[in-house]
Structure formats: structure tokens, C-alpha cells
Amino acid sequence: MRVLITRPASDAPVWVAALQRAGYDAQAIALIDIAAEPDVQPIDQAWSQWAKWQAVMFVSAPAVRYFFARQPEAYAWRDVHTRCWATGPGTQKALLKAGVPPELIDCPNDQGGQFDSEALWQEVHARVAPGLPVLIVRGRDLGHQVLTIDADANANGFGRDWLAQQLQGVQVPVHFVVAYQRQAPVWTEAQRSQAALAVTDGSVWCLSSSQAVAHLRLNLPALDWSRSRCIVTHARIGLAAQALGFGQVLVARPVLADVLASLESLA
């Protein structure tokens, strides 16, 4: 069974290697390209104000990598009380790799039903202090407005996401900073042919964001997806895949054991 890993090029190799070890013909074909946000001044400002944040929430592993690329030299974590929030294991691992002490990281429990903002909120809401701001580190789509740390959750470009609404509901100011850019990949003809073949040959697409599904529609327009199969890492991504026309959609948490179980069910 061929399995297509559609994560950004920086994240895909780990998944490809793990699935190949499990006996699958795993291949990478990125559906999202990412790069550093050119305007790093807001990131530097966020670091200079680190002590003022009661928590910094990272939306993804790339958010961690690009934000911590601007970490001041000789930064000491002792006497630091700012929490780091992650919605899933990939982001949590990126924080640990960046040097964040594990006791400062909050992430949904591995045994929970889902890794997302709702699960993270269940983990942290009892400890949130009203009045102390939270910073959300995220990416942006090219062409969208850049939000600085002075922008609130109502700013154009991102809107009031669910976690920001919960925080504001308990009187917590929410700020954003952009650490990286996202855009649709530019495929070679060989990649386009590989992807088009996978629409009908029984390959399984692993989709980890709704944006990836949108880029799939952009790169392969007007195709019949009714014979296609995919594994998605959240129900919302599944809805996007169904709207594109995927004939079979399975939902699995973004952990290897769950993805492997879903693949076995498709064999």
C-alpha cells in the first residue's frame, strides 16, 4: 500500500521513515510550503517581553522552530514561569527539542480523544489567571495581513479562533505573533503525475490540515476523487476532504499507532 505524507518538507521525513519501517511504501509529497516570516521584529519584541506572558501557545511544530530561531542567546529557563502550550505531540516534541523544560509545557493527555485547541483548553483552563495576557504564535498564508503582538483576536486576517474566544471569555487578553509563512507548493511535473496517479490507484493520502486539502484542490483541479482514500488528523479536516470528494475518509490522531491502525483497517 502506498501512503502519501503531505506534511511540509521539514516534518515529513520522520513520518515517512516510521511508516517505511512498518512495511508501507511511504512517500512524501508536500501540500504546504513554509518559510520564515521576514518581519522578525514582532518576534524579537515578544521575546523581550517573555516574562509578561502567562502562557505562549504554539499552533504547530513550525511555529516553535521559527519562533525559537529568534531566541536570545544564553537564555536561561531558571526563574521562568511562562507556560508553553502545545495542541499535539509534534509541537510538544519541538518545544522539548528547543530546550523548554518539560515541567513548563502543557499539552493534551496522550490518552485523550483528540489533539486540538479544545483538548488543550481542558488541560489548562483551571490554571488560567484573568488579566494576564497569552501570546499565540502562528503562521500566516501569503497575501494575508501580518498580525503583530499588538493585534488582538478580532483583527482581520485570522479572526477570533476558538481558543482566543475562551481566553477572552475569562478576561485574558490575547495577542498574536506570526513566525512563519504558508503557501501552496510548486510541484514538478513528476510530482504532479505522482499525485494524479494516487487519486485512483488505491494510495492513501495522510492529510494534517484543511489548508493541505485546499492546496490539493488547487494543484489537481477538476479530478474525480470518489475512488480516493485518506486519513485525516481531525474531523474538521475530514469534512474538507469529503467536500473535495474523497470516497473514503478515516480520522486518526496524529500519532503513529493511530495512523497505523487506520492503515491496517484499509488493507
β-strand partners of 133: none
8 A C-beta contact, residue 58 and residue 95: yes
- Any idea which architecture 35-182 has in CATH? 3-Layer(aba) Sandwich (3.40)
Element (H, E) at 168: helix 162-169
pLDDT, averaged across the chain: 89
Give the list of residues 6+ apart from residue 134 with CB closer than 8 angstroms, or none: 53, 54, 55, 56, 57, 128, 167, 172, 173, 174, 175
pLDDT-derived band at 143 (thresholds 50, 70, 90) equals low
Residues of the chain with CATH 3.40.50.10090: 2-32+185-266, 35-182
Using the structure block, give the residue that is written with the C-alpha cell 521575546. 47
pLDDT of residue 200: 93
Nearest to 98 by CA among 134, 132, 126, 137: 137
Instruction: Report the share of the chain in percent with pLDDT over 90.
Output: 74
pLDDT-derived band at 74 (thresholds 50, 70, 90) equals low
177-191 pLDDT per residue, tens: 999 999 999 899 999
Q: What are the cell numbers at 259?
A: 495512523
- Report the alpha-carbon distance of residue 126 to residue 122 in Å, rounded: 8
pLDDT at 260 over 60: yes
pLDDT of residue 112: 61
Q: What are the cell numbers at 24?
A: 508501507
Global pTM value: 0.84
pLDDT at 158 over 90: no
pLDDT-derived band at 148 (thresholds 50, 70, 90) equals very low
Give the residue-averaged pLDDT of 107-129: 87
Helix, strand, or coil here: 197?
helix
Using the structure block, give the residue that is written with the C-alpha cell 483552563. 125
Give the residue-averaged pLDDT of 30-53: 94
pLDDT of residue 154: 35
- Report the alpha-carbon distance of residue 190 to residue 196 in Å, rounded: 10
87-107 pLDDT per residue, tens: 988 899 999 999 999 999 999
Match domain 2-32+185-266 to its CATH number in 3.40.50.10090, 3.40.630.30, 3.40.50.300, 3.30.70.270.
3.40.50.10090
